[in-house]
Chains A and B, each alone.
Chain A
Amino acid sequence: MSGDSVAGRLSAPRAGAWARLSPRSRAALARIGWGIASVGMFAGIWELLWAIGVADARLLPPPHIFLGNIPDQARFFNTAQRWQIGVDASAGPSPLGAVGITVAATSMRVFVGLGIAAVLSVTLGVLIRYFTLLEKLTLPTITLLSPVSPIAWLPVAIFMFGIGNAPAIFMVVIALFFHMVLSTISQIDGVNRNLINVARTMGASKRQVYGRVIIPAILPQMLIVLRLNLFASWMVVLIAESTGVGFGLGQVIMLARNTFNPSLVFFTIALIGLLGFLSDLVLRQLQRRLLYWVPEATGVLRGL
Protein backbone atom coordinates (compact mmCIF):
# COMPACT_ATOMS: atom_id res chain seq x y z
CA MET A 1 0.00 0.00 0.00
CA SER A 2 1.26 3.45 -0.84
CA GLY A 3 0.43 4.73 2.66
CA ASP A 4 2.81 2.24 4.20
CA SER A 5 5.63 3.08 1.84
CA VAL A 6 5.43 6.83 2.41
CA ALA A 7 5.17 6.42 6.16
CA GLY A 8 8.01 3.92 5.92
CA ARG A 9 10.19 6.45 4.16
CA LEU A 10 9.29 9.11 6.71
CA SER A 11 10.55 6.96 9.54
CA ALA A 12 13.52 5.61 7.62
CA PRO A 13 16.09 6.43 10.32
CA ARG A 14 14.20 4.22 12.81
CA ALA A 15 13.38 1.46 10.35
CA GLY A 16 13.92 -1.16 13.06
CA ALA A 17 11.27 0.33 15.30
CA TRP A 18 8.85 0.62 12.39
CA ALA A 19 9.30 -3.03 11.47
CA ARG A 20 8.61 -4.09 15.04
CA LEU A 21 5.18 -2.39 15.08
CA SER A 22 2.11 -4.50 14.51
CA PRO A 23 0.48 -4.09 11.07
CA ARG A 24 -2.50 -2.49 12.77
CA SER A 25 -0.55 0.26 14.51
CA ARG A 26 1.54 0.72 11.38
CA ALA A 27 -1.68 1.33 9.43
CA ALA A 28 -2.88 3.72 12.14
CA LEU A 29 0.39 5.65 12.09
CA ALA A 30 0.27 5.82 8.31
CA ARG A 31 -3.23 7.22 8.50
CA ILE A 32 -2.16 9.88 11.00
CA GLY A 33 0.82 10.71 8.81
CA TRP A 34 -1.44 11.21 5.82
CA GLY A 35 -3.77 13.38 7.87
CA ILE A 36 -0.90 15.64 8.87
CA ALA A 37 0.39 15.71 5.30
CA SER A 38 -3.04 16.68 3.95
CA VAL A 39 -3.67 19.50 6.42
CA GLY A 40 -0.02 20.58 6.14
CA MET A 41 -0.34 20.85 2.37
CA PHE A 42 -3.31 23.21 2.56
CA ALA A 43 -1.72 25.25 5.33
CA GLY A 44 1.46 25.43 3.25
CA ILE A 45 -0.37 26.71 0.17
CA TRP A 46 -2.11 29.30 2.33
CA GLU A 47 1.15 30.43 3.92
CA LEU A 48 2.75 30.63 0.49
CA LEU A 49 -0.08 32.82 -0.81
CA TRP A 50 0.42 35.06 2.21
CA ALA A 51 4.20 35.17 1.73
CA ILE A 52 3.94 36.27 -1.89
CA GLY A 53 1.30 38.82 -0.97
CA VAL A 54 -1.79 37.27 -2.60
CA ALA A 55 -3.61 36.56 0.68
CA ASP A 56 -4.15 39.74 2.66
CA ALA A 57 -3.43 39.05 6.34
CA ARG A 58 -6.29 41.32 7.35
CA LEU A 59 -8.86 39.31 5.38
CA LEU A 60 -7.38 35.82 5.05
CA PRO A 61 -4.87 35.54 7.87
CA PRO A 62 -2.75 32.38 7.35
CA PRO A 63 -2.56 29.67 10.05
CA HIS A 64 0.56 31.00 11.76
CA ILE A 65 -1.33 34.21 12.52
CA PHE A 66 -4.67 32.83 13.67
CA LEU A 67 -3.10 29.93 15.56
CA GLY A 68 -0.08 31.92 16.66
CA ASN A 69 -1.61 33.53 19.67
CA ILE A 70 -4.17 31.19 21.15
CA PRO A 71 -4.54 32.99 24.52
CA ASP A 72 -5.27 36.18 22.61
CA GLN A 73 -8.01 34.43 20.62
CA ALA A 74 -9.33 32.71 23.68
CA ARG A 75 -10.26 36.08 25.22
CA PHE A 76 -13.25 36.21 22.88
CA PHE A 77 -14.65 32.96 24.20
CA ASN A 78 -15.69 34.62 27.44
CA THR A 79 -18.65 32.61 28.69
CA ALA A 80 -19.70 35.21 31.25
CA GLN A 81 -22.96 36.83 30.25
CA ARG A 82 -21.31 40.10 29.40
CA TRP A 83 -24.33 41.73 27.83
CA GLN A 84 -26.06 41.74 31.17
CA ILE A 85 -26.00 45.03 33.03
CA GLY A 86 -23.48 45.15 35.82
CA VAL A 87 -21.31 42.29 34.59
CA ASP A 88 -17.71 43.35 34.21
CA ALA A 89 -16.09 42.77 30.80
CA SER A 90 -13.28 40.84 32.44
CA ALA A 91 -15.59 38.62 34.50
CA GLY A 92 -15.80 34.88 33.81
CA PRO A 93 -13.42 31.94 33.70
CA SER A 94 -9.87 32.09 32.38
CA PRO A 95 -9.67 32.45 28.58
CA LEU A 96 -8.61 28.83 27.96
CA GLY A 97 -11.19 27.60 30.42
CA ALA A 98 -13.77 29.56 28.48
CA VAL A 99 -12.69 27.87 25.25
CA GLY A 100 -13.18 24.53 26.97
CA ILE A 101 -16.63 25.48 28.23
CA THR A 102 -17.64 26.79 24.80
CA VAL A 103 -16.46 23.65 23.05
CA ALA A 104 -18.13 21.40 25.62
CA ALA A 105 -21.40 23.32 25.34
CA THR A 106 -21.49 23.04 21.54
CA SER A 107 -20.46 19.38 21.54
CA MET A 108 -23.12 18.62 24.11
CA ARG A 109 -25.77 20.20 21.88
CA VAL A 110 -24.54 18.19 18.89
CA PHE A 111 -24.49 14.85 20.66
CA VAL A 112 -27.71 15.30 22.60
CA GLY A 113 -29.44 16.43 19.41
CA LEU A 114 -27.98 13.55 17.42
CA GLY A 115 -28.97 11.06 20.11
CA ILE A 116 -32.55 12.30 20.35
CA ALA A 117 -32.89 12.44 16.57
CA ALA A 118 -31.52 8.91 16.15
CA VAL A 119 -33.77 7.36 18.79
CA LEU A 120 -36.89 9.19 17.61
CA SER A 121 -36.38 8.61 13.91
CA VAL A 122 -35.40 4.94 14.09
CA THR A 123 -38.31 4.26 16.42
CA LEU A 124 -40.77 6.08 14.18
CA GLY A 125 -39.31 4.50 11.03
CA VAL A 126 -39.74 1.00 12.47
CA LEU A 127 -43.24 1.76 13.74
CA ILE A 128 -44.21 3.14 10.33
CA ARG A 129 -43.28 -0.13 8.67
CA TYR A 130 -44.89 -2.10 11.47
CA PHE A 131 -48.26 -0.36 11.48
CA THR A 132 -49.66 0.38 8.03
CA LEU A 133 -52.14 2.88 9.47
CA LEU A 134 -49.31 4.91 11.00
CA GLU A 135 -47.53 4.91 7.66
CA LYS A 136 -50.57 6.23 5.85
CA LEU A 137 -51.12 8.91 8.48
CA THR A 138 -47.56 10.17 8.91
CA LEU A 139 -45.42 9.34 5.90
CA PRO A 140 -46.84 11.99 3.53
CA THR A 141 -46.23 14.74 6.09
CA ILE A 142 -42.73 13.49 6.82
CA THR A 143 -41.88 13.39 3.13
CA LEU A 144 -43.33 16.88 2.75
CA LEU A 145 -41.27 18.31 5.59
CA SER A 146 -37.99 16.55 4.93
CA PRO A 147 -36.70 18.95 2.23
CA VAL A 148 -37.36 22.03 4.42
CA SER A 149 -34.05 23.71 5.24
CA PRO A 150 -33.10 23.72 8.91
CA ILE A 151 -32.76 27.51 8.68
CA ALA A 152 -36.50 27.74 8.10
CA TRP A 153 -36.99 26.03 11.46
CA LEU A 154 -34.90 28.62 13.28
CA PRO A 155 -37.77 31.03 14.05
CA VAL A 156 -39.89 28.05 15.11
CA ALA A 157 -37.13 26.96 17.48
CA ILE A 158 -37.05 30.43 19.04
CA PHE A 159 -40.86 30.71 19.24
CA MET A 160 -41.08 27.36 20.95
CA PHE A 161 -38.01 27.31 23.16
CA GLY A 162 -36.81 30.91 23.48
CA ILE A 163 -33.05 31.01 23.91
CA GLY A 164 -30.64 28.63 25.59
CA ASN A 165 -29.77 25.00 24.96
CA ALA A 166 -33.24 23.83 24.01
CA PRO A 167 -33.61 25.67 20.66
CA ALA A 168 -30.10 24.63 19.56
CA ILE A 169 -30.82 20.98 20.35
CA PHE A 170 -34.23 21.27 18.71
CA MET A 171 -32.54 22.58 15.56
CA VAL A 172 -30.18 19.61 15.42
CA VAL A 173 -33.06 17.17 15.99
CA ILE A 174 -35.34 18.75 13.39
CA ALA A 175 -32.56 18.94 10.80
CA LEU A 176 -31.89 15.20 11.04
CA PHE A 177 -35.22 13.72 12.05
CA PHE A 178 -37.20 13.62 8.80
CA HIS A 179 -34.64 12.19 6.49
CA MET A 180 -33.42 9.75 9.12
CA VAL A 181 -36.99 8.43 9.29
CA LEU A 182 -37.05 8.04 5.51
CA SER A 183 -33.65 6.41 5.57
CA THR A 184 -34.75 3.96 8.29
CA ILE A 185 -37.73 2.96 6.17
CA SER A 186 -35.61 2.38 3.10
CA GLN A 187 -33.15 0.32 5.16
CA ILE A 188 -36.01 -1.85 6.39
CA ASP A 189 -37.20 -2.37 2.83
CA GLY A 190 -33.70 -3.43 1.87
CA VAL A 191 -33.39 -6.22 4.45
CA ASN A 192 -32.62 -9.56 2.78
CA ARG A 193 -35.98 -11.31 2.28
CA ASN A 194 -34.40 -14.68 2.97
CA LEU A 195 -33.52 -13.69 6.53
CA ILE A 196 -37.11 -12.65 7.15
CA ASN A 197 -38.48 -15.81 5.53
CA VAL A 198 -36.16 -18.04 7.57
CA ALA A 199 -37.39 -16.45 10.77
CA ARG A 200 -40.99 -16.84 9.62
CA THR A 201 -40.63 -20.52 8.79
CA MET A 202 -39.22 -21.03 12.29
CA GLY A 203 -42.41 -19.63 13.72
CA ALA A 204 -41.35 -16.06 14.49
CA SER A 205 -44.20 -13.63 15.08
CA LYS A 206 -44.26 -10.24 13.40
CA ARG A 207 -42.83 -8.69 16.54
CA GLN A 208 -40.02 -11.24 16.67
CA VAL A 209 -39.23 -10.72 13.00
CA TYR A 210 -38.83 -7.00 13.67
CA GLY A 211 -36.96 -7.34 16.95
CA ARG A 212 -34.63 -10.18 16.06
CA VAL A 213 -34.12 -9.81 12.32
CA ILE A 214 -35.02 -6.40 10.94
CA ILE A 215 -33.53 -4.20 13.65
CA PRO A 216 -30.15 -5.97 13.85
CA ALA A 217 -30.06 -6.12 10.05
CA ILE A 218 -30.49 -2.36 9.61
CA LEU A 219 -28.09 -1.34 12.40
CA PRO A 220 -24.88 -1.24 10.33
CA GLN A 221 -26.35 1.07 7.70
CA MET A 222 -28.06 3.17 10.35
CA LEU A 223 -24.76 3.81 12.09
CA ILE A 224 -23.25 4.97 8.82
CA VAL A 225 -26.23 7.27 8.33
CA LEU A 226 -25.66 8.56 11.84
CA ARG A 227 -22.02 9.26 11.12
CA LEU A 228 -22.88 11.20 7.99
CA ASN A 229 -25.51 13.14 9.88
CA LEU A 230 -22.98 13.98 12.54
CA PHE A 231 -21.41 16.43 10.12
CA ALA A 232 -24.83 17.88 9.34
CA SER A 233 -25.50 18.44 13.01
CA TRP A 234 -22.18 20.25 13.43
CA MET A 235 -23.33 22.58 10.65
CA VAL A 236 -26.79 23.14 12.06
CA VAL A 237 -25.68 23.75 15.61
CA LEU A 238 -23.65 26.78 14.50
CA ILE A 239 -26.68 28.33 12.87
CA ALA A 240 -28.71 27.76 16.00
CA GLU A 241 -26.01 29.18 18.25
CA SER A 242 -25.52 32.29 16.18
CA THR A 243 -28.92 33.54 17.33
CA GLY A 244 -28.14 34.14 20.95
CA VAL A 245 -27.82 30.94 22.86
CA GLY A 246 -25.52 32.70 25.33
CA PHE A 247 -22.31 30.99 24.40
CA GLY A 248 -21.10 28.45 21.90
CA LEU A 249 -18.90 28.26 18.84
CA GLY A 250 -21.64 29.70 16.63
CA GLN A 251 -21.90 32.68 18.92
CA VAL A 252 -18.12 33.22 18.69
CA ILE A 253 -18.36 33.16 14.88
CA MET A 254 -21.11 35.80 15.01
CA LEU A 255 -19.00 37.89 17.37
CA ALA A 256 -16.07 37.60 14.96
CA ARG A 257 -18.28 38.65 12.07
CA ASN A 258 -19.73 41.63 13.92
CA THR A 259 -16.31 42.83 15.09
CA PHE A 260 -14.60 42.11 11.77
CA ASN A 261 -12.09 39.67 13.21
CA PRO A 262 -11.10 37.17 10.46
CA SER A 263 -8.42 35.72 12.68
CA LEU A 264 -11.05 34.65 15.19
CA VAL A 265 -13.26 33.24 12.39
CA PHE A 266 -10.50 30.99 11.15
CA PHE A 267 -9.47 29.99 14.65
CA THR A 268 -13.04 28.91 15.36
CA ILE A 269 -13.30 27.11 12.01
CA ALA A 270 -10.13 25.19 12.83
CA LEU A 271 -11.58 24.28 16.21
CA ILE A 272 -14.86 23.09 14.65
CA GLY A 273 -13.00 21.04 12.07
CA LEU A 274 -10.96 19.35 14.77
CA LEU A 275 -14.09 18.65 16.84
CA GLY A 276 -15.95 17.22 13.87
CA PHE A 277 -13.02 14.97 13.06
CA LEU A 278 -12.69 13.76 16.66
CA SER A 279 -16.40 13.07 17.04
CA ASP A 280 -16.36 11.07 13.81
CA LEU A 281 -13.50 9.07 15.26
CA VAL A 282 -15.58 8.36 18.36
CA LEU A 283 -18.54 7.16 16.28
CA ARG A 284 -16.26 5.02 14.16
CA GLN A 285 -14.91 3.30 17.26
CA LEU A 286 -18.47 2.85 18.49
CA GLN A 287 -19.38 1.31 15.14
CA ARG A 288 -16.48 -1.14 15.37
CA ARG A 289 -17.44 -2.21 18.90
CA LEU A 290 -21.17 -2.42 18.33
CA LEU A 291 -21.13 -4.03 14.89
CA TYR A 292 -18.63 -6.79 15.52
CA TRP A 293 -20.11 -8.87 12.72
CA VAL A 294 -19.55 -6.35 9.95
CA PRO A 295 -16.21 -7.17 8.33
CA GLU A 296 -14.07 -4.05 8.30
CA ALA A 297 -12.87 -4.45 4.74
CA THR A 298 -16.39 -4.15 3.31
CA GLY A 299 -17.03 -0.75 4.88
CA VAL A 300 -17.05 1.37 1.74
CA LEU A 301 -17.23 4.51 3.85
CA ARG A 302 -14.63 3.28 6.30
CA GLY A 303 -11.98 5.76 5.30
CA LEU A 304 -14.40 8.66 5.28
Chain B
Amino acid sequence: MGSDPFLPYSSKDAVVCRGIGKTWAIDTPRAHEALRDVDLDIRPGEFVVLLGPSGCGKSTLLYLIAGLEAQTSGQIWSFHDEVTTPSPDRSLIFQETSLFPWLAVWQNVSFGLSIRGVPLKERRAVARDALSRVGLVEAMDKRPDELSGGMRQRVAVARALAMRPKVLLMDEPFAALDVQTRAKMQDFLLDVWRDSGASVLFVTHSIDEAVALADRVVVFTSRPGRIKTIVPIDLPRPRDPFSPQCEALRRLLTEELRGEVDRAFAEQEALARTG
Protein backbone atom coordinates (compact mmCIF):
# COMPACT_ATOMS: atom_id res chain seq x y z
CA MET B 1 0.00 0.00 0.00
CA GLY B 2 1.39 3.37 -0.96
CA SER B 3 0.09 5.32 2.02
CA ASP B 4 2.23 7.98 3.57
CA PRO B 5 0.31 9.25 6.59
CA PHE B 6 2.11 12.57 6.76
CA LEU B 7 2.04 13.71 3.18
CA PRO B 8 -1.70 14.23 2.55
CA TYR B 9 -2.31 16.42 5.59
CA SER B 10 -0.01 19.09 4.22
CA SER B 11 -1.66 18.84 0.85
CA LYS B 12 -4.02 21.47 -0.46
CA ASP B 13 -5.42 19.10 -3.07
CA ALA B 14 -9.16 18.84 -3.65
CA VAL B 15 -9.08 15.06 -3.32
CA VAL B 16 -6.27 12.80 -2.20
CA CYS B 17 -6.73 9.03 -2.39
CA ARG B 18 -4.05 6.74 -0.95
CA GLY B 19 -4.13 2.99 -1.30
CA ILE B 20 -7.90 2.81 -1.74
CA GLY B 21 -9.42 -0.66 -1.84
CA LYS B 22 -13.06 -1.66 -1.71
CA THR B 23 -14.53 -5.12 -1.45
CA TRP B 24 -18.30 -5.33 -1.57
CA ALA B 25 -20.16 -7.79 0.66
CA ILE B 26 -16.87 -8.56 2.42
CA ASP B 27 -16.90 -11.71 4.61
CA THR B 28 -19.72 -13.23 2.59
CA PRO B 29 -19.61 -15.81 -0.20
CA ARG B 30 -20.70 -13.06 -2.60
CA ALA B 31 -17.72 -10.86 -1.81
CA HIS B 32 -16.11 -9.20 -4.79
CA GLU B 33 -13.27 -6.77 -5.04
CA ALA B 34 -14.25 -3.55 -6.83
CA LEU B 35 -11.14 -1.44 -6.27
CA ARG B 36 -7.52 -2.20 -5.42
CA ASP B 37 -4.73 0.12 -4.39
CA VAL B 38 -5.91 3.34 -6.02
CA ASP B 39 -3.72 6.42 -5.56
CA LEU B 40 -5.14 9.58 -7.08
CA ASP B 41 -4.70 13.31 -6.46
CA ILE B 42 -7.06 15.92 -7.85
CA ARG B 43 -5.96 19.53 -7.82
CA PRO B 44 -8.32 22.40 -7.03
CA GLY B 45 -10.20 23.46 -10.15
CA GLU B 46 -9.06 20.45 -12.13
CA PHE B 47 -11.35 18.48 -14.46
CA VAL B 48 -10.57 14.77 -14.13
CA VAL B 49 -12.37 12.05 -16.06
CA LEU B 50 -12.46 8.45 -14.84
CA LEU B 51 -12.70 6.17 -17.85
CA GLY B 52 -13.16 2.44 -17.83
CA PRO B 53 -15.36 -0.48 -18.84
CA SER B 54 -18.67 -0.77 -17.02
CA GLY B 55 -18.39 -2.46 -13.66
CA CYS B 56 -14.74 -1.52 -13.23
CA GLY B 57 -15.31 0.24 -9.92
CA LYS B 58 -15.02 3.85 -11.10
CA SER B 59 -18.47 4.71 -9.71
CA THR B 60 -17.48 2.98 -6.49
CA LEU B 61 -14.52 5.34 -6.18
CA LEU B 62 -16.91 8.28 -6.61
CA TYR B 63 -19.15 6.99 -3.82
CA LEU B 64 -16.15 6.56 -1.54
CA ILE B 65 -14.97 10.11 -2.23
CA ALA B 66 -18.51 11.38 -1.63
CA GLY B 67 -18.37 9.65 1.75
CA LEU B 68 -21.49 7.60 1.07
CA GLU B 69 -19.62 4.30 1.42
CA ALA B 70 -16.60 3.35 3.48
CA GLN B 71 -13.48 2.01 1.78
CA THR B 72 -12.10 -1.34 2.87
CA SER B 73 -8.53 -0.05 2.89
CA GLY B 74 -6.65 3.19 2.38
CA GLN B 75 -7.53 6.78 3.19
CA ILE B 76 -9.21 9.70 1.42
CA TRP B 77 -8.70 13.37 2.17
CA SER B 78 -10.35 16.44 0.77
CA PHE B 79 -8.73 19.80 1.51
CA HIS B 80 -6.95 18.64 4.69
CA ASP B 81 -9.99 16.80 6.06
CA GLU B 82 -10.24 13.06 6.05
CA VAL B 83 -13.40 11.86 4.28
CA THR B 84 -15.55 9.77 6.58
CA THR B 85 -19.06 11.09 5.98
CA PRO B 86 -20.86 12.90 3.15
CA SER B 87 -20.33 16.66 3.03
CA PRO B 88 -21.99 19.52 1.14
CA ASP B 89 -18.46 20.38 -0.08
CA ARG B 90 -18.63 17.33 -2.34
CA SER B 91 -21.78 17.21 -4.43
CA LEU B 92 -22.75 14.09 -6.32
CA ILE B 93 -24.73 14.06 -9.58
CA PHE B 94 -26.22 10.79 -10.81
CA GLN B 95 -26.94 9.30 -14.20
CA GLU B 96 -30.66 8.92 -13.58
CA THR B 97 -32.96 11.63 -12.43
CA SER B 98 -32.47 12.17 -8.76
CA LEU B 99 -34.78 15.15 -8.34
CA PHE B 100 -37.47 14.90 -5.68
CA PRO B 101 -40.67 14.58 -7.73
CA TRP B 102 -42.85 16.09 -5.00
CA LEU B 103 -40.88 19.34 -4.85
CA ALA B 104 -40.92 22.23 -7.31
CA VAL B 105 -37.71 22.86 -9.24
CA TRP B 106 -36.62 25.71 -6.98
CA GLN B 107 -37.33 23.65 -3.85
CA ASN B 108 -35.21 20.85 -5.28
CA VAL B 109 -32.36 23.26 -5.92
CA SER B 110 -32.51 24.69 -2.41
CA PHE B 111 -33.11 21.35 -0.67
CA GLY B 112 -29.71 21.43 1.02
CA LEU B 113 -30.41 24.90 2.41
CA SER B 114 -33.80 23.90 3.78
CA ILE B 115 -32.05 21.09 5.62
CA ARG B 116 -29.88 23.70 7.31
CA GLY B 117 -32.97 25.72 8.19
CA VAL B 118 -32.25 28.69 5.90
CA PRO B 119 -35.32 30.98 5.67
CA LEU B 120 -37.59 30.65 2.65
CA LYS B 121 -36.78 34.02 1.08
CA GLU B 122 -33.07 33.36 1.06
CA ARG B 123 -33.63 29.83 -0.26
CA ARG B 124 -35.61 31.17 -3.17
CA ALA B 125 -32.93 33.74 -3.92
CA VAL B 126 -30.17 31.13 -3.90
CA ALA B 127 -32.29 28.83 -6.06
CA ARG B 128 -32.92 31.64 -8.55
CA ASP B 129 -29.21 32.39 -8.71
CA ALA B 130 -28.24 28.74 -9.20
CA LEU B 131 -30.95 28.21 -11.83
CA SER B 132 -29.85 31.31 -13.71
CA ARG B 133 -26.38 29.77 -13.95
CA VAL B 134 -27.89 26.79 -15.77
CA GLY B 135 -30.32 28.95 -17.78
CA LEU B 136 -33.50 27.61 -16.22
CA VAL B 137 -34.89 30.48 -14.13
CA GLU B 138 -38.19 30.38 -15.98
CA ALA B 139 -38.70 26.73 -14.92
CA MET B 140 -38.34 27.62 -11.24
CA ASP B 141 -41.91 26.86 -10.21
CA LYS B 142 -42.38 23.83 -12.42
CA ARG B 143 -42.32 20.28 -11.20
CA PRO B 144 -39.52 17.91 -12.35
CA ASP B 145 -41.86 15.72 -14.41
CA GLU B 146 -42.72 18.75 -16.55
CA LEU B 147 -39.09 19.01 -17.72
CA SER B 148 -37.14 17.10 -20.37
CA GLY B 149 -34.28 14.77 -19.45
CA GLY B 150 -31.62 17.34 -20.31
CA MET B 151 -33.37 20.06 -18.32
CA ARG B 152 -33.68 17.75 -15.34
CA GLN B 153 -29.94 17.10 -15.38
CA ARG B 154 -29.33 20.86 -15.56
CA VAL B 155 -31.54 21.26 -12.48
CA ALA B 156 -29.48 18.54 -10.79
CA VAL B 157 -26.32 20.50 -11.64
CA ALA B 158 -27.94 23.68 -10.28
CA ARG B 159 -28.83 21.84 -7.10
CA ALA B 160 -25.23 20.72 -6.71
CA LEU B 161 -23.96 24.27 -7.41
CA ALA B 162 -26.34 25.79 -4.85
CA MET B 163 -24.30 24.03 -2.16
CA ARG B 164 -21.18 25.86 -3.45
CA PRO B 165 -19.25 22.59 -3.54
CA LYS B 166 -15.48 22.45 -3.85
CA VAL B 167 -15.68 19.13 -5.65
CA LEU B 168 -18.35 18.07 -8.15
CA LEU B 169 -18.64 14.30 -8.44
CA MET B 170 -20.51 13.20 -11.56
CA ASP B 171 -21.53 9.61 -12.17
CA GLU B 172 -22.17 9.28 -15.91
CA PRO B 173 -24.52 12.25 -15.70
CA PHE B 174 -25.24 12.47 -19.42
CA ALA B 175 -25.35 8.77 -20.26
CA ALA B 176 -29.15 8.68 -20.45
CA LEU B 177 -29.34 11.64 -22.86
CA ASP B 178 -29.44 11.57 -26.64
CA VAL B 179 -26.25 12.44 -28.53
CA GLN B 180 -27.17 16.04 -29.45
CA THR B 181 -28.37 16.93 -25.95
CA ARG B 182 -25.27 15.30 -24.60
CA ALA B 183 -22.92 17.49 -26.66
CA LYS B 184 -24.79 20.61 -25.53
CA MET B 185 -24.65 19.48 -21.91
CA GLN B 186 -20.88 18.98 -22.16
CA ASP B 187 -20.40 22.57 -23.35
CA PHE B 188 -22.73 23.73 -20.62
CA LEU B 189 -20.84 21.77 -17.99
CA LEU B 190 -17.52 23.29 -19.07
CA ASP B 191 -19.02 26.78 -18.68
CA VAL B 192 -20.38 25.97 -15.25
CA TRP B 193 -17.09 24.42 -14.20
CA ARG B 194 -15.08 27.49 -15.28
CA ASP B 195 -17.51 29.80 -13.40
CA SER B 196 -17.59 27.80 -10.21
CA GLY B 197 -13.89 27.06 -9.85
CA ALA B 198 -14.75 23.65 -8.39
CA SER B 199 -12.84 20.48 -9.18
CA VAL B 200 -14.80 18.00 -11.26
CA LEU B 201 -14.46 14.25 -11.06
CA PHE B 202 -16.44 12.85 -13.95
CA VAL B 203 -17.12 9.15 -14.50
CA THR B 204 -17.87 7.94 -18.01
CA HIS B 205 -17.35 4.99 -20.30
CA SER B 206 -17.40 7.23 -23.37
CA ILE B 207 -14.00 7.98 -24.88
CA ASP B 208 -15.46 10.91 -26.85
CA GLU B 209 -16.74 12.46 -23.66
CA ALA B 210 -13.40 12.00 -21.92
CA VAL B 211 -11.51 13.66 -24.79
CA ALA B 212 -13.96 16.57 -24.96
CA LEU B 213 -13.87 17.38 -21.25
CA ALA B 214 -10.80 16.28 -19.32
CA ASP B 215 -7.62 17.91 -18.08
CA ARG B 216 -6.57 14.38 -17.22
CA VAL B 217 -8.11 11.04 -18.15
CA VAL B 218 -7.68 8.28 -15.58
CA VAL B 219 -8.03 4.91 -17.30
CA PHE B 220 -9.21 2.05 -15.08
CA THR B 221 -8.58 -1.66 -15.45
CA SER B 222 -11.51 -4.00 -15.08
CA ARG B 223 -12.24 -5.84 -11.86
CA PRO B 224 -10.68 -5.20 -9.51
CA GLY B 225 -10.50 -1.56 -10.58
CA ARG B 226 -6.98 -0.19 -10.62
CA ILE B 227 -5.50 2.81 -12.34
CA LYS B 228 -3.98 1.58 -15.57
CA THR B 229 -2.68 4.88 -16.86
CA ILE B 230 -3.29 8.60 -16.59
CA VAL B 231 -3.44 10.58 -19.85
CA PRO B 232 -3.08 14.36 -19.51
CA ILE B 233 -4.86 16.43 -22.20
CA ASP B 234 -3.34 19.84 -22.64
CA LEU B 235 -5.63 21.24 -25.35
CA PRO B 236 -7.60 24.47 -25.18
CA ARG B 237 -11.39 24.22 -24.95
CA PRO B 238 -13.72 24.11 -26.79
CA ARG B 239 -12.00 21.23 -28.51
CA ASP B 240 -12.65 20.29 -32.09
CA PRO B 241 -13.47 16.57 -31.92
CA PHE B 242 -12.18 16.14 -35.50
CA SER B 243 -8.78 17.74 -34.89
CA PRO B 244 -5.74 15.44 -35.34
CA GLN B 245 -4.86 15.82 -31.64
CA CYS B 246 -8.26 14.62 -30.56
CA GLU B 247 -8.13 11.79 -33.10
CA ALA B 248 -4.80 10.69 -31.68
CA LEU B 249 -6.08 10.85 -28.12
CA ARG B 250 -9.12 8.81 -29.00
CA ARG B 251 -6.93 6.19 -30.64
CA LEU B 252 -4.63 6.09 -27.63
CA LEU B 253 -7.51 5.74 -25.17
CA THR B 254 -9.21 3.13 -27.33
CA GLU B 255 -6.00 1.08 -27.31
CA GLU B 256 -5.67 1.43 -23.56
CA LEU B 257 -9.26 0.36 -23.02
CA ARG B 258 -9.55 -2.45 -25.54
CA GLY B 259 -7.74 -5.07 -23.49
CA GLU B 260 -9.74 -4.12 -20.40
CA VAL B 261 -13.09 -4.36 -22.13
CA ASP B 262 -12.16 -7.78 -23.53
CA ARG B 263 -11.09 -8.94 -20.10
CA ALA B 264 -14.25 -7.61 -18.43
CA PHE B 265 -16.34 -9.31 -21.07
CA ALA B 266 -14.61 -12.68 -20.60
CA GLU B 267 -14.95 -12.34 -16.82
CA GLN B 268 -18.65 -11.61 -17.02
CA GLU B 269 -19.16 -14.59 -19.28
CA ALA B 270 -17.26 -16.83 -16.88
CA LEU B 271 -19.35 -15.45 -14.02
CA ALA B 272 -22.55 -16.18 -15.89
CA ARG B 273 -21.42 -19.75 -16.54
CA THR B 274 -20.55 -20.48 -12.94
CA GLY B 275 -23.69 -18.68 -11.74
Contacts and interface: CB of A to CB of B under 8 A. Distances in A.
A216 B103 CA distance: 10
Interface string B159-189: 1000100000000000000000000000000
B102 A203 contact: no
Nearest to B112: A202
Nearest to A205: B115
A203 B86 contact: yes
A149 interface: no
A192 interface: yes
A201 interface: yes
A92 B86 CA distance: 68
Interface string A177-213: 0000000000000001011011111111000100011
Nearest to B100: A195
Contacts of B100: 195, 213, 216
A83 interface: no
B101 interface: yes
A293 B86 contact: no
A203 B88 CA distance: 6
B111 A293 contact: no
Contact of B116 (A203, A212, A291, A293): A203
A199 B115 contact: yes
A293 B98 contact: no
Given A194-B96, A197-B92, A293-B101, A203 B112 contact: yes
Contacts of A200: 68, 86
A198 B115 contact: no
A208 B115 contact: yes
Interface string A274-300: 000000000000000001111100000
Contacts of B159: 198
A202 B111 contact: yes
Interface string A198-237: 1111111000100011001101000000000000000000
B102 A295 contact: no
Contact of A201 (B88, B96, B143): B88
Nearest to B115: A204
Interface in B36-94: 63, 66-68, 86-88, 90-92, 94
Contact of A203 (B66, B87, B94, B145): B87
10 contacts: A197-B68, A200-B86, A201-B87, A202-B88, A203-B87, A212-B111, A216-B100, A216-B102, A293-B102, A294-B101
